[in-house]
Structure formats: structure tokens, C-alpha cells
Structure 1
Amino acid sequence: MTSGAADLFWFKSSHSGSQGDDCVEIAIAEQAVHVRDSKDVTRPSFAVGRDGWDWFVRFASEQ
């Protein structure tokens, strides 16, 4: 999937601190969730299908 990252609205979790911690940003699009490094937004992002993202969130919330 191509990201089209310039046209997306990116955000970090409200649980992210303001001390420059390691974090990712996500942008939700119609068919995918895009993920990038919040400390270096010039690097390429990657996209995960919505079903895959839903699975990841459910898995992470169980840990």
C-alpha cells in the first residue's frame, strides 16, 4: 500500500509523554491505518489494513 503521507492527519496517543519518548504516530484512512516514527517524520511510513490494525489493538490491549 502506498501511504500518501502528506495528505493524512497524524496523531500520537494521549498516553505519549512530552519528554521526547519513543513513540509512533498513526493516521486513519479509509482502507488502512498508517504508522510512522514520531521523532523522524521524514522517514517513510507504512500502512496496515484495517483488519490487521484491529487485530493488533485487541492483542496489545490484552497484554
Structure 2
Amino acid sequence: MFTQGQLIFAVCFIIAFVIAAVFVYRKDKTLHSQHYKGAYRVLIVFLLFIAFLFVMKSYLKH
């Protein structure tokens, strides 16, 4: 499906992306805490909504 070179590139890219994301997040952590207070609540509501959709889908399927 994928060549060995493509897999090596994908792994290296993922590692570099995660390192860059962590570095940038740490740099902007103080700004995030000031401007995005309560953002975790939006995430929780979103995840609950997705779970509700899955429950409704399985309920209506039977």
C-alpha cells in the first residue's frame, strides 16, 4: 500500500508536527488562558452532541 520511504516520511512528519505544536502551545499558553477561558465547556458540549447523535442513530436503526 505505502512504500517504506513514504512510511518513514509520514513518521518523521508526525514527530516534527507534534514537537512544533507543543513548542507553539507552550509559547502562547498565557494568552490562551486569558482569551479562551471556558473553552473546555464548548468541547464537552460538542462531544456530548456527537455522542447523542450516535445514540440516536443506533436507537433509530433498531
Bin of the TM-score, shorter chain as denominator length: under 0.3
Q: When you count helix as a share of all residues, which structure comes out higher?
A: 2
Q: TM-score, normalised by structure 2?
A: 0.26
Relative contact order (C-alpha < 8 Å, sep 6+): which is higher? Answer: 1
Flag the structure with larger Rg: 2
Q: TM-score, normalised by structure 1?
A: 0.25
Q: When you count strand as a share of all residues, which structure comes out higher?
A: 1
